[in-house]
A and B are shown apart, each in its own frame.
Chain A
Amino acid sequence: MSASQARKKILLLFAHPSQQRSEVNLPMFELAKSLDFVTYVDLYREYPRHHININREQQRLVEHDIVIFQFPFYWYSTPSLLKEWQDLVLEYNFAYGPDGTALHGKTFICALSAGGAEQAYRADGYNHFTVRELLQPLEQTARLTGMRYLPPFAIFSSRSTQCQRQQHLAHWRKLLEALSFELINHDKVAELTTINDALPALPNLASMAV
């Protein structure tokens, strides 16, 4: 792979209303900031009063190939501002409807942190559903807007183990690189519960990028 190959541009929409308490999301966001193919947006910083600039957000979507929602899992969904963003930005005839083709062909993925253990997000766990199942509204939103949906990138027990976080950050970098280099085989990962499982198999990208 040559460094000259055009990388896909990533739009990272980060929504965390309580960043002073963040242990894994903020490091992830900081890491993403250091990558030049990622456009990073701290939604709660830009819209502290929830007044979203629809034009600006739509423009950003148009300019990127990959859209990532990064957020802590709040009541099996996104924090409220990110939901607000969906309500306002994904307009009729922009994201859907007869003229709503702006997002067609883009890739969509969620990167989330869940406080509960992975075992809890199973049919026999106390949450009864996998994270992928719980994210079905977003999966369907991606479908309806013509985006390719990838399984979520998730960390579980996110407020408990320190060592897991370091590994998670390494995987996060790998994921961003792989998305940008288009190294992920969409068909192969399509049925996974989380995309995390596919990451170790990927080649070491940081060294390839040099």
Chain B
Amino acid sequence: MTEYFLQAFVYLAAAVIAVPIAKKLGLGSVLGYLIAGVIIGPVTHLVGQETLTIQHFAEFGVVMMLFLVGLELAPSMLWQMRNRLFGLGGLQVVISTVLVAGIALLFEQPWSVSLAIGLIFSLSSTAIVLQTFNEKGLSSTEGGRNAFSVLLMQDIAVIPMLAFIPMLALPELVAAAEGLQSSAEHHEQLNLVAHLPTWAYAIAILASIGGVIVLGHFLSRPLFHYVASSGLREIFVATALLLVVGIAALMSLVGLSPALGTFLAGVVLANSEFRHELESNIEPFKGLLLGLFFITVGAGINFDILANQALVIGLLTLAVIVVKASVLWGLAVMFRIKNSNRWLFSLSLAQAGEFGFVLLSFSVQQHVIPTDIASILQLVVALSMFLTPLLFILFEHVIMPRYQADTSNPKYDDIGHSASVIIAGIGRFGQIVNRLLVANGVKTVVLDHEASQVENLRKIEIQSYFGDATRPDLLHTAGIENAKLLIVAIDNREQAIELITYVKHTYPKVKILARAFDKGHNYELLQAGADFTVNETYFSALELGAEAMTELGFHPFEVEQKKYAFCQIEAAASNQLYQQWLGGSEGEKFDPNYRKLFMQMEDSIKQAMQRDRMDKHDGAERGWTPPPKNYEKGFD
């Protein structure tokens, strides 16, 4: 037990120290994790043998990441990108495989070994690339989106590779293995279907995939509702984890890629109103596990082999990057990806990926690649991943600036581009705000913590999500960084104040419009940093009061004038009252001074109302004032 604590401490400490430094230096978190791994592994030997075991565990981070990626992609979007997926992604895998295999053949490797190596190196690192895209805000660029299609295609391609590689087994390696039962690391794979006939195997696979889709579609909602109604946040987290773990387990059991399975589940759930809540629950686990994965890559670098064959490994790594980047460049030209996007596309995917590790150890197990070659290749994969952040830095600091001149013509803000408004709370108040905005083509993201409310809104086709808006992570997934406005209309007074305090502090650029319950709450919201507040009952009460006056026989236009005057005086006095309130003692905000001021305001309103605007010109209320009687005699 003590040992685990110590190891966990070392890993976490390394991350906590290295990652912030790396980020500060502009290297990105991935390089931070890798360096942390190198320091605790080959450099100081704080950790060692267990790295490989942990790596298998940390691969689950990749699984979670694909689940999150899936959540961002509704099936309709996936269908839209089918051409890029199979055209761009498919060609990338095939051409890279052929070229890398060709190089391996030059090194006088048997064709089967060369082909396996080609397949392994055709893959890129989904983890590093997506993480970096996210951090640098490149996800929505043309280069980023195309890179994403290629990564997706690669992840899909892993499945046929896993099926195909065993066929490349070298007879002499099999023989050697039979003589000496290798005790080296082996992937404990529990596989229920391995011994089934082909047709049954196919049925099992189809059933599993179908099951994920059907259950995800029909069962997830009642399940989430049931769990959400319990009101226990940790159980919702547990449910989200259960979902991902369950699907990963199912896929492993039938010999499919768990990452692909959870990706599929993510796509199925992409239209769910629980999407944001799921995202924010899985996100921290994904982040940590991915970090762990990168640390183990760093820690797993074998410096002995590296030192002995530094030149070969270095050249091989360089060759891999150059070959892959050239292939991608060619494809970018073919698919008309232009300017800086072409560079981004080519450089970002030029490394080998985490699936490379998986396939390498799988190839060794299946007697396709000899162990000594595999250990060298393992270093090439790691090193190429290690160099990726540097390629991104190259892109950012050398290539991007060259293209900046092209984009110096600023275009008008495209308001429809991202959801510019987040509405927290979609009860009786937020609903009306949302209807007005949506009717005018403003994109909104609506969050509400009441599942039944969200359900009702979905019935009338208002896009809304179940989620507690006061959770920072949920706000983050709702896109608070890029939002222009946050509208706070949640029913819990204290939470509204907390939310405003948090957002104003963390995202000062976001304008906050808030609904208050009464005067006191109004002031508290202002104090918390709201830019505009409105008392929820104020204007409707004013309307009703005006209606009452009309009913009583006042002329409607005069009523309108009185109402406006009332508002004006109230607004002018309100600021004064707020200052008074701010200065009031903590215990008694509505102190005697405040009360006095309030009564003064009421008095001035009364006076203004009673004033007959015919009798004298007065700044408070004028309009359509006829000149005095007999004024016409002054002319001529």
Contact = CB atoms under 8 A, between A and B. Distances in A.
Nearest to A55: B619
B622 A91 contact: yes
A51 interface: yes
A107 B422 CA distance: 50
Which range contains the number of A residues in contact with the other chain? 10 to 19
A200 interface: no
Contacts of A96: 627
A92 interface: yes
Contacts of B631: 92, 97
A97 B634 contact: yes
Given A51-B564, A97-B631, A97-B634, A88 B619 contact: no
A87 interface: yes
B634 A88 contact: no
A85 to B, nearest CB: 11
A14 to B, nearest CB: 21
B624 A54 contact: no
A92 B631 CA distance: 9
Interface string A70-92: 00000000000000000110011
A88 B622 contact: yes
A96 B628 CA distance: 12
B564 A91 contact: no
Interface residues of B, number: 11
Contacts of B623: 52, 54, 87-88
A98 B634 contact: yes
B589 interface: no
A98 B630 CA distance: 13
B619 A92 contact: no
A91 B634 contact: no
B625 interface: yes
Given A55-B619, A97-B634, A92 B625 contact: yes
Contacts of B596: none
A92 B622 contact: no
A91 B616 CA distance: 12
A87 B617 CA distance: 14
A97 B564 contact: no
Contact of B622 (A49, A54, A97, A98): A54
Nearest to A92: B627
Interface string A81-120: 0000001100111001110000000000000000000000
B307 to A, nearest CB: 68
Nearest to A144: B635
A112 B304 CA distance: 85
Contacts of A55: 619
Interface in B365-380: none
Contacts of B622: 54, 88, 91
Interface of B is mostly: loop
B617 to A, nearest CB: 7
Contacts of B564: 49, 51
A51 B627 CA distance: 20
A127 B623 CA distance: 33
Contact of B624 (A51, A88, A93, A98): A88
A91 B617 CA distance: 9
Interface string B594-631: 00000000000000000000000101001111011001
Nearest to B617: A91
A93 B631 CA distance: 11
Nearest to A94: B617
Given A51-B564, A55-B619, A87 B624 contact: yes
B628 to A, nearest CB: 7
Contacts of B628: 92
Contacts of A93: 617
Interface string B561-586: 00010000000000000000000000
B101 to A, nearest CB: 61
A88 to B, nearest CB: 5
Contacts of A52: 623
Interface in B292-344: none
B627 to A, nearest CB: 4
Nearest to A93: B617
A37 B409 CA distance: 29
Nearest to B622: A54
A208 B87 CA distance: 63
B624 to A, nearest CB: 6
Nearest to B565: A51
Interface string B473-494: 0000000000000000000000
A27 to B, nearest CB: 16
A97 B624 contact: no
A176 B628 CA distance: 38
Contacts of A91: 617, 622, 625
A97 B619 contact: no
B268 to A, nearest CB: 42
A92 B617 CA distance: 9
B472 to A, nearest CB: 36
A51 B557 CA distance: 13
A145 to B, nearest CB: 13
Interface string A50-61: 011011000000
A91 B627 CA distance: 8
B361 to A, nearest CB: 63
Contacts of B634: 97-98
B563 to A, nearest CB: 10
A55 to B, nearest CB: 6
Interface of A: 49, 51-52, 54-55, 87-88, 91-93, 96-98
What 4 A-B pairs come out closest when comparing CB atoms?
A92-B627, A54-B622, A88-B623, A51-B564
Given A91-B622, A96-B627, 11 more contacts: A49-B564, A51-B564, A54-B622, A88-B623, A88-B624, A91-B625, A92-B617, A92-B631, A93-B617, A97-B631, A97-B634
5 contacts: A49-B564, A54-B619, A92-B627, A92-B628, A93-B617
